[in-house]
């Protein structure tokens, strides 16, 4: 376990790879887009 272990998050960061433990889209979409005003 640790930097050399590719099955851990730290190992993925050390190697610079991605996977299930370290997804690429870390930022979640928490801010909802405001509804556009209806033209009429």
Taking the C-alpha atoms of residue 8 and residue 5, their distance in angstroms, rounded to an integer, is 6
What value does the CA radius of gyration of the chain take, rounded to a whole number of Å? 18
Phi, psi of 14 (to 5 degrees): -65, -45
Encode the chain (40 residues) as per-residue pLDDT tens digits.
788 888 888 988 889 888 887 788 766 666 766 666 666 6
pLDDT of the residue at 35 = 65
Please answer whether residues 11 and 5 qualify as being in contact, where contact means their C-beta atoms are separated by less than 8 angstroms: yes
Q: Which pTM value belongs to this model?
A: 0.49
**Residue 6 neighbours by CB under 8 Å, 6+ apart:** 12, 15, 17, 19
pLDDT of the residue at 40 = 60
């Amino acid at each position: 376990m640790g930097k050399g272990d590719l099955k851990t998050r730290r190992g993925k960061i050390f190697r610079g790879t991605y996977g299930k433990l370290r997804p690429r889209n870390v930022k979640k979409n928490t801010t909802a887009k405001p509804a556009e005003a209806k033209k009429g």
